[in-house]
Copies of this chain bind each other. A is one copy, B any other.
Amino acid sequence: MSLLQRLSFNQMTADPWSLEQTVRNCSSSGVPYIAVWRHKLEGDAAKASAMIRREGLRVSSLCRGGWFSAPTPEERRNRVADNRLAIEEAATLGASVLVIVSGPANGQTLNDARATVLDGLLEILPDAEKAGVVLGIEPLHPMYAAERSVVVTLKQANDIADQLKSPAAQVVIDAFHVWWDPDVMQQIERARGKIAGFHVSDWPVPLPGILMGRAMMGDGVIELRNLRQAVDAAGYDGPIEVEIFNEEIWKTADDGLLPLIQRRFAEHV
């Protein structure tokens, strides 16, 4: 199978496009997978699912569940309920993976927030198992520890997956988030059999911003091919998502974007 047949377009790479436009563009460019964000579903996962299938695409993952930590027990319960809804939406979309971004400490201590993440995952795990959806625990880069994710290393995500002891608890590896880690190769190998996804983009130098600083593959310093080969060698042969948060790409996204991504993907991933 050619690597391009594993390409999944994460729709936040072209945020200005509607879901329908994204699906059509993927379809006409021969991109076989799409990664969908919940806020783009407009509350109707069934309608989105029908439209995606009509165009012959498959959904690599739904982004995102998680965000468990909250200052009050009531709010934490609401977060769990929302994760159950996300699992249902993933199942409706035929997405085998719900990406889990754990969320920030949000008023808790780091240790308490990390315990809350584990508790939240334990609560929703039976729902995921029943729905046939894998919870893909994604460590985010440590620069997001205060604002987006108290889970910041692949080791930590592997530890959580080990504690959950279920085929529905796996990890998602995003090159942008893990490339710097001296233990990354060892932790990729350790994740064998529980890798639910692999995401690519690049780290430009200098990094223009914390949230929107990602670059197109080949425009940065991440040794993407090394990482992809390590993930493959650890037994992963599923879709590879291109997820680039970059305002310039948002502004200029046109018919040339997907062909460019395909070229860069083939050259660098």
Contact = CB atoms under 8 A, between A and B. Distances in A.
A210 B104 CA distance: 18
Interface stretch (A61-69, A70-78, A201-209): A201-209
Given A105-B221, A110-B223, A146 B182 contact: no
Contact of A143 (B105, B143, B155, B221): B143
How many of chain A's residues touch chain B, expressed as a range? 20 to 34
A117 to B, nearest CB: 11
Interface in A171-215: 179-183, 203, 205-207, 210
A220 B145 CA distance: 12
A160 to B, nearest CB: 10
Contacts of A179: 110, 145
Contacts of A205: 104, 146-147
Contacts of A153: 181-182
Query: Can you tell how many copies of this chain the complex includes?
Result: 2
A223 B182 contact: no
Contacts of A167: none
Contact of A180 (B152, B181, B183, B210): B152
A143 B142 contact: yes
B145 A180 contact: yes
A223 to B, nearest CB: 6
Nearest to A142: B180
Interface string A136-152: 00000111011100001
B156 A182 contact: yes
Q: Choose among A180, A183, A223 the residue with the greatest number of B CB atoms under 10 Å from its CB.
A: A180
Report the 5 A-B pairs with minimum CB-CB distance, sorted nearest first.
A145-B180, A143-B143, A142-B180, A156-B182, A142-B142
23 contacts: A104-B205, A105-B221, A114-B182, A141-B142, A141-B143, A142-B143, A142-B180, A142-B181, A143-B210, A145-B179, A145-B180, A146-B180, A146-B205, A146-B220, A147-B206, A147-B207, A152-B180, A152-B181, A153-B181, A155-B182, A155-B183, A159-B182, A207-B210
